[in-house]
Structure 1
Amino acid sequence: MTLRTTTRALAATAATVLTLAGATACATDGGGGGVDPDRIDVVAGFYPLQFLAERVGGDAVAVTNLARPGAEPHDLELNPRQIGQIIEAELVVFLHGFQPAVDEAIEQNAGDRAFDVAGVEPLLDATAGGHDHDHDHGDGDGDGDGDGDHADEEHAEEGTDGAKDPHVWLDPTRLATIGDKLAERLGAVDPDRAGDYTTRAAALRTELAQLDTEFTEGLKTCQRREIVVSHTAFGYLAQKYQLEQIGITGLSPENEPSPQRLASVIEEAREHGATTIFFETLVSPKVAETIAREVGAETAVLDPLEGLSAENGGDYLSVMRTNLQALRTALSCS
């Protein structure tokens, strides 16, 4: 019996009690199946990491996504079966700080089998990509440092001051770098197929570079640069493609905006002639619809890709291209 097989057997035994305890709860859960001795068992915290693991790993990996389609991954609570999946996994791909329950389970059960994508690409501050209210006169705070203090104040009011923005996957070039590092990590787990992981990561990088080119060209000439979004998930996209996001709420989509914040967003939307107020597939559109009515704008989906809904299908690349078309329409790009 090989060391790898022995490790699997011990992990499976350790997970048995948890799995049995959660059998009823898991009957409707869409988790992965049994252990495949020919493939590397990878657990991903949420959809973009699942996409990355599947594309880099190919047929050599079996990927389980902890977040169900159509469910908001921020507030994921793990059941016993999912804890067992983390215990059994040979690699757990997660983003520290994005899913607290996953962070805790990994700390207790995954050890050096965890791959934190936040350690690959430095995360932006939560206020990055925010709107500069007084953009015709420096940064609007009178100190001339261009740091956008107005935007900082808004986010501080919502409790995100000093926080980091986890939505790193919305910059395709950053996602490509994470893919390269994931290939290295998979190669360390499975040296016999290390070259295959590197090859697939390189192919994915080419596809993501093409997507980046499409965004750069598609958003080069637009009548507006400001996007009004339901929550400030788009800092990486805004920074990469010279846009400015005006968030109805901060990083957490569950937060309710204050009346003052709503009034401020309505004022800014009118100031910049916004024709579209964006909402998300996994979050109620009601607030966005209210603002749209106030300013005479339409609503449209801008998907942060935290999780694919069960209805929309597609994958990271196709949904990002749908986002690009939505942005081009909203910003009147030529």
Structure 2
Amino acid sequence: MNVRRLIPATATLAAVSLGLVTLSACGGSSAADDAKGPGGKLNVIASFYPMQFLAEQIGGDKVAVTPLTKPGVEPHDLELKPKQTAQLSDADLIVYLKGLQPAVDEAVKQSGAKATVDATTLTSLETHGTEAGGHDHGGEEAGHEGHDHGHSHGEKNATDPHIWLDPVKYAEVAKGVGKALEKADPANAALYKKNTDTLVTKLDGLHTAFKDGLKNTATKTFITTHSAFGYLAERYGLEQEGISGVDPESEPSPARIKQLQKIAKEDKVSTVFFETLASDKTAATLAKDTGLKTDVLDPLEGITDKSRGSDYIEVMRSNLVALKKALGAK
């Protein structure tokens, strides 16, 4: 009797042990998923909207993207909260643009995070100008050797970080972000590759729309509050005149305002552009003093309910409409 009882008891013990192993294995898988982020998604932190847009478009439902710069916040002078800084250490991937937000650059460095992608390493950056607020001369036909003096922010030979406003350069960054996601999450690499290709196709279409839409214009010069459009100006043969430099909060000198009034007259400028996240006071004053119209040209540093579109593509197309109108496109 004791022997007969021993056999099923041993079998039962083995089954229980096997069950525990199975549960343990399942528990380990769940823990791994939780480490990825909510719902087992890849935990991606993006520095500001243009990086957020790429991560969301390419990552799809396999990623949970947390932006460091909230909607409506001007990104250049962002100050991070301790909680945000702590989040960087736990991220599966950090997508940022070095040189635009000093606080983010320092936090990424201090976090020790290994899985990071800096957008400035994914395309070529250009040094624009020798003094703040000068004349931009660019054009695709010039091989991108234009001279944009509007980005130096008071410094000589400053590198312009606004690469996302050139659809061609932004597509190059998109490809790099896609590869970073593939590396961070190999199980979903095929999906990331497919989504990257889809986004690049959209950006190619946007580039074609700008190239065709701005080919024939009455003037090539536009005045804008914030000197963010140097790459766009070079790509499509335009001339940007920034009231301020790379920092939208910087104040132009009286000499710069006088220079802009002269340029507006000589180049037959019709419109002074302002933007959604920065004050339009100076732009409005310049427009009034020179008898010019005002309109919005969005540098797409953030999306709010005031934006002319719900995402990057829509707002860029709105920018194209505004430019065509202001420049007298035929």
Task: Please show how residues 250-289 of structure 1 align to structure 2 within 5 Å.
Answer: 250-289=245-284
State how far apart, in whole Å, the 1-side matches of 2:226 and 2:167 are.
20
Task: Give the 3 Å change call, closer, same or farther, for CA 287–172 of structure 1 in structure 2.
Answer: same
Could you say what the CA RMSD is over the residues aligned between the two structures, in angstroms?
A: 2.4
Candidates 294, 306, 329, aligned match of 2:325: 329
Letter in structure 1 aligned against 2:286 = I
1:100 lines up with 2:102 in the alignment: yes
Task: Please show how residues 176-325 of structure 1 align to structure 2 within 5 Å.
Answer: 176-312=171-307, 314-325=310-321
Whether contact under 8 Å (1:47, 1:307) holds in the other structure is yes
Letter in structure 2 aligned against 1:52 = L
Which residue in the other structure is 2:41 paired with? 39
Task: Give the 3 Å change call, closer, same or farther, for CA 80–3 of structure 1 in structure 2.
Answer: farther
State how far apart, in whole Å, the 1-side matches of 2:49 and 2:57 are.
12
Whether contact under 8 Å (1:53, 1:63) holds in the other structure is yes
Letter in structure 1 aligned against 2:318 = T
Task: Give the 3 Å change call, closer, same or farther, for CA 269–164 of structure 1 in structure 2.
Answer: same
Which residue in the other structure is 2:91 paired with? 89
State how far apart, in whole Å, the 1-side matches of 2:32 and 2:205 are.
43
Residue 3 of structure 1 and its aligned partner are, at CA, apart by: 9.4
Whether contact under 8 Å (2:151, 2:158) holds in the other structure is no
SS in 2 for 1:282: coil
Task: Give the 3 Å change call, closer, same or farther, for CA 80–4 of structure 1 in structure 2.
Answer: farther
Letter in structure 2 aligned against 1:232 = S
SS in 1 for 2:114: helix
State how far apart, in whole Å, the 2-side matches of 1:259 and 1:187 are.
51
SS in 1 for 2:225: strand
Task: Give the 3 Å change call, closer, same or farther, for CA 35–108 of structure 1 in structure 2.
Answer: same
Letter in structure 1 aligned against 2:123 = E
Deviations 1:21-77 (A, max 9, x none): xxxxxxxxxxxxx93152101000000110000001001100011111111011111
Whether contact under 8 Å (1:155, 1:161) holds in the other structure is no
State how far apart, in whole Å, the 2-side matches of 1:300 and 1:91 are.
38
Residue 7 of structure 1 and its aligned partner are, at CA, apart by: 11
Unaligned runs of 5+ residues in structure 1 are: 10-33, 136-145
State how far apart, in whole Å, the 1-side matches of 2:110 and 2:29 are.
22
Which residue in the other structure is 1:142 paired with? none
Unaligned runs of 5+ residues in structure 2 are: 1-26, 139-144
Report which of the two structures shows the higher radius of gyration computed on alpha carbons: 2
SS in 1 for 2:76: coil
State how far apart, in whole Å, the 1-side matches of 2:213 and 2:72 are.
29
State how far apart, in whole Å, the 2-side matches of 1:155 and 1:216 are.
23
Residue 82 of structure 1 and its aligned partner are, at CA, apart by: 1.0
Letter in structure 2 aligned against 1:205 = V
Task: Give the 3 Å change call, closer, same or farther, for CA 130–159 of structure 1 in structure 2.
Answer: closer
SS in 2 for 1:231: coil
Aligned length: 295
Residue 8 of structure 1 and its aligned partner are, at CA, apart by: 7.0
Which residue in the other structure is 1:20 paired with? none
Residue 110 of structure 1 and its aligned partner are, at CA, apart by: 4.1
Deviations 1:188-225 (A, max 9, x none): 11111111101100000111111111101100110000
Letter in structure 2 aligned against 1:125 = T
Which residue in the other structure is 1:30 paired with? none
Candidates 51, 55, 58, aligned match of 1:56: 58
Compare 316-325 and 114-123 and name the one that shifted more: 114-123
Residue 84 of structure 1 and its aligned partner are, at CA, apart by: 2.4
Residue 111 of structure 1 and its aligned partner are, at CA, apart by: 2.8
Name the TM-score, length of structure 2 as normaliser.
0.84
State how far apart, in whole Å, the 2-side matches of 1:247 and 1:181 are.
30
Candidates 69, 72, 79, aligned match of 1:70: 72
Whether contact under 8 Å (2:206, 2:313) holds in the other structure is yes
Deviations 1:99-158 (A, max 9, x none): 11111110011432211000111211133996358x9xxxxxxxxxx975xx65x766x5
Sequence identity (%): 44
Task: Give the 3 Å change call, closer, same or farther, for CA 164–214 of structure 1 in structure 2.
Answer: same
